[in-house]
Amino acid sequence: MIILGCFFASSIAMFDVRQCDKFDLIARFKCVDSLYKESDAELNKVYKDIFSYLQNDYEGVGEPRTKYLKLAQRDWIKFRDSSCNFENPQGMGSGGEGFGVEYLTCQLEKIIDRIDYLNKFNQN
């Protein structure tokens, strides 16, 4: 548990959106977008590591866990997007220049949470 806590703490620091607050709106958007892309790449890596591990974890009884991991991830993506659309109803659209930054910030926060959650299952 301590190791996971250390990883999560480092991922929060690594993807801390507050480092973008010092910039004007356009530069802030680019900063948040960069963090979003980096965190999304990290999430994909964690997902692939768990998926690879689970492929070797199937004993032929019931459904393979990889099937449920795929379903859970697809459902989580829908949840992430609908939650951020709810929290920022104008999303990336032109409801004001700040909405794109707020929408990406929401997505980034959800991704960081997901990385923490999936790392609990990562055996690599």
Give the pLDDT confidence of 24-50 residue by residue, as tens digits.
Answer: 988 998 999 999 999 999 999 999 999
Is 63 strand, coil or helix?
Answer: coil
Output the CA–CA distances (angstroms, integers) from residue 80 to 41, 73, 111, 112, 123, in the order listed: 16, 10, 8, 11, 25
Question: How far is residue 38's CA from residue 81's CA, in Å, rounded to a whole number?
Answer: 18
Query: For 68, how many CA atoms within 13 A lie in the half-sphere containing its CB?
Result: 6
pLDDT of amino acid 53 = 87
Q: What is the rounded average pLDDT of the residues 51-80?
A: 86
Tens digit of pLDDT for each residue in 84-113? 988 887 655 545 556 788 889 999 999 999
Quote the distance between the C-alpha of residue 43 and its chain's center.
6
pTM over 0.85: no
Domain positions in the chain are: 2-119
List, in order, residues 6 or more apart from 8 with CB less than 8 Å away.
Answer: 115, 116, 119
Domain 2-119, CATH: 1.20.1270.180
